[in-house]
Structure 1
Amino acid sequence: MTATATRERILDAATARFATQGIRATSADRVIDDVGVTKVTFYRHFRSKSDLVVAYLERQAEGESGWMRSERREGDPRATLHALATGIGAASCSPGFRGCPFINAAAEFPDAEDPVRAVVTGHREWMRAQFAELAAEAGLADPAAAATRLMLLRDGAMVNGYLADPATIADALDAAFGAVLDAG
């Protein structure tokens, strides 16, 4: 097995554990056991559990960023926000969903100087910038304020998703996104 494949298997196991048990509650030893590698192999790929968590979040950010870009409807910010609302509703209500990995990580790593928190902050800033760009494209007077509102709505949907029906969450989020655009 290649080093890249082993690293991916470790990240896959960590992702499953972090989602179901939380990051802090998941030990490196548990991930090592799940993958069936030695500690030496694990630490060859990740110097510490913190490095594993950073890699996990970077992978999540890459996936979410790619998805958001794929939902972009050039020249139509309302259609883009509708597509995002539908996707967020579906994802947040999917079986096994336990909340946004970035919100969860922020709760578990409150120190702003922690490398884990830096990844969370970086991804959220990127996402806020995407929302600000959509707000500017829609002609809103204060795209930064609109982006903050859109982020808050997205976060609420991610937190409430596993408690409700996907269509309900998607419809409510779509209506709320539209209200932000309509408010100007």
Structure 2
Amino acid sequence: MNTTPKRPSPARTRLIDAATHLFYEEGIHAVGVDRIIDEAQVTRATLYKQFGGKENLVLAYLRNEDELLRAMFADAGAAVSDPDELLEAVIAGIAADIRDRHTRGCPFINAAAEYPDADGAVRALIAEHREWFRSTLQSVAEGAALERPADAAASLVLLRDAALVGGYLDGDERVNPAFERTARSVIAAHRAR
């Protein structure tokens, strides 16, 4: 029995790449299926065969964003063994993400604004991602022996949200130093005295 994970088809990959670019840059509802098909250079039948419709493509786009962020955290965790250094790597990683990748805000916040139904599939996926992010930060805070690690994690999630939006509105040159300074203040406030 072959247990090798199945690689996605090139057409599926092109569709997710096109959706990622267009949805993030222009907004999910602003981009029609025809535009995605054109950019991905596939047929309408291919899109519907791969995803069944636009909402499933939106979910695939958000899952892809989630997987990339999880991989970034896993890489940081594998590269750094000291808990305090890992906290610093998380702060630096978030700042780099705002500067280099997510220059138009948080893809999850942006999608949530376009999908107000809190019980819908898109919002459920966003909630799952945010819970993972919060619990991961809490684990990092626990590893560094911060007091009230859940509170520290909640503060860092809030700061990241604000920094992603602020980075888009005010530019990372202004926002990143403020984010890093404030995140370090949160961590210092939760150090055991």
TM-score with structure 2 length normalisation? 0.85
Whether 1:145 and 2:133 are equivalent positions in the alignment is no
Equivalent of 1:156 in 119, 142, 162: 162
CA contact (8 A) 1:100 1:159 kept: yes
Query: Of the two structures, which has the highest relative contact order with CA contacts closer than 8 Å and spacing of 6 or more?
Result: 1
Report deviation, 1:174: 2.4
CA contact (8 A) 1:86 1:171 kept: no
Aligned counterparts of 1:98 and 1:61: Cα–Cα separation in 2: 16
The amino acid that maps onto 1:44 is: K
Equivalent of 1:74 in 75, 81, 87: 81
- Cα pair distance change 1:143/1:23, threshold 3 Å: same
Deviations 1:73-102 (A, max 9, x none): 3232x3223222223223323388211111
Report deviation, 1:165: 3.7
CA contact (8 A) 1:82 1:174 kept: no
Whether 1:133 and 2:139 are equivalent positions in the alignment is yes
The amino acid that maps onto 1:101 is: P
CA contact (8 A) 1:86 1:170 kept: no
Equivalent of 1:63 in 68, 71, 76: 68
- Cα pair distance change 1:81/1:3, threshold 3 Å: closer
Report deviation, 1:16: 1.0
CA contact (8 A) 2:87 2:141 kept: no
Residue equivalent to 1:112: 118
The amino acid that maps onto 1:164 is: G
Aligned counterparts of 1:81 and 1:173: Cα–Cα separation in 2: 14
Aligned counterparts of 1:129 and 1:165: Cα–Cα separation in 2: 26
Gaps of 5+ in 2: 1-6
Q: Mean alpha-carbon deviation: is it higher for 40-49 or for 78-87?
A: 78-87
Task: Report the 3-state secondary structure (helix = DSSP H, G, I; strand = E; otherwise coil) of the residue aligned with 1:37.
Answer: coil
Deviations 1:31-68 (A, max 9, x none): 11222222111100011111000000001100011002
Whether 1:87 and 2:129 are equivalent positions in the alignment is no
- Cα pair distance change 1:124/1:95, threshold 3 Å: closer
Report deviation, 1:3: 6.5
Gaps of 5+ in 1: none
TM-score with structure 1 length normalisation? 0.89
Equivalences, count = 181
Aligned counterparts of 2:177 and 2:103: Cα–Cα separation in 1: 19
Residue equivalent to 2:108: 102
